[in-house]
Amino acid sequence: MRFEINAKIVLNFILLVHVGLAIFDLRFLILPWIFIIGNLWTLYTKPLGGQWVPAKIDKIRRMLKMTDIRSGEVLYDLGSGDGRIVAEAARLYKTKAIGVEIDPIRVLISRLKLKFKKLDKYAKIKHANLFNVNLKDADVVTMYLLPKTVNQLKSKFKEELKRGTRIVSLQFPLKNWKPVKVDKENKIFVYRI
Ligand SMILES: C[S@@+](CC[C@H](N)C(=O)[O-])C[C@H]1O[C@@H](n2cnc3c(N)ncnc32)[C@H](O)[C@@H]1O
């Protein structure tokens, strides 16, 4: 007799273990759902520009260093997630850092983080669609977004950014634009308007 494992058996097994464990401790019932819903939640911003995937701190430090950012300059992080780029820019360089984020939950988390770290004097989070925020006062623009989105932004950059503004993209280059600096290992591309 052949024993076939199909999706229905696997699902029933998982459900049984799930409910069985929940009888002993309610956390087993609640925590997996928080995990599943939390992960699904990140997907909703994917069609808007990119889903939430946090950049590694060492890459963020490298990105900021490559832009030669100075104290008092204005930095925008387009799609700021949990606010880690603006927090690092404010903490290390005392820049006026502005994160733009569309997901209200990440906005709330990042604002709380900045307050808790006492960086809210330098760094702020705007709850907005990054395509609708004017960037004319930016000295540095950072982004970690989908390839389609970074390329859609090129006309906005040309229209709004002043001469000398540095743009740094993590992971994806801007098609047909010549970077002034590249870190191939970390996939960091720096452009100057
Ligand atoms: C890959 S994550 C990068 C987060 C953060 N910059 C970092 O490096 O850790 C992309 C972020 O962009 C946000 N996002 C996507 N589309 C957006 C849009 N149209 N306007 C504002 N934020 C957007 C997502 O919600 C997500 O938090």
Q: Give the span between the Cα atoms of 102 and 128, in whole angstroms.
A: 5
Q: How confident is the model at residue 7 (pLDDT cuts 50, 70, 90)?
A: confident
pLDDT tens, residue by residue, 142-190: 999 999 999 999 999 999 999 999 999 999 999 999 999 999 999 999 9
Rg over CA atoms, the chain: 21
Domain 57-192 has CATH 3.40.50.150: yes
Residue nearest to atom 2 of ligand 1 (CA): 52
Q: Whose CA is nearest to atom 11 of ligand 1?
A: 79
Q: Which of 42, 102, 113 should be mutated for ligand 1, with most atoms under 8 A from CB?
A: 102
The residue extents of the domains of the chain are: 7-43, 57-192
Specify the residue with its C-alpha closest to ligand 1, atom 13. Answer: 79
Q: Across residues 39-51, what is the average pLDDT?
A: 76
CA of 91 to the centre of ligand 1 (A): 21
Burial of residue 131 (CB within 10 Å: 0-12, 13-18, 19+) is middle
* Interval between CA 133 and ligand 1 midpoint (Å): 14
In the structure, which protein residues have their CB atom closer than 6 angstroms to any atom of ligand 1? Answer: 45, 48-50, 52-55, 77, 79-81, 84-85, 100-103, 106, 129-131, 144-145
**What number of other Cβ atoms are within 10 A of residue 186's Cβ?**
15
Q: What is the 3-state secondary structure (H, E, C) of 161-192?
A: CCCCCEEEEECCCCCCCCCCEEECCCCEEEEE
66 pLDDT more than 70: yes
pLDDT at residue 67 is higher than 70: yes
Instruction: Tell me: pLDDT of 3 over 70.
Output: no
Backbone phi, then psi, for 4, in 5-degree steps?
-100, 125
The answer on pLDDT for 29 being more than 80 is no
Q: What percent of the chain has pLDDT over 90?
A: 72
pTM for the full predicted model: 0.84
Query: 3-state SS of the chain: helix, strand, coil percent to 5?
Result: 45, 15, 40
Q: What percent of the chain has pLDDT over 70?
A: 95
Alpha helices in 44-133 (DSSP H): 57-66, 84-93, 104-116
Ligand 1 centre to CA of 52 (Å) is 6
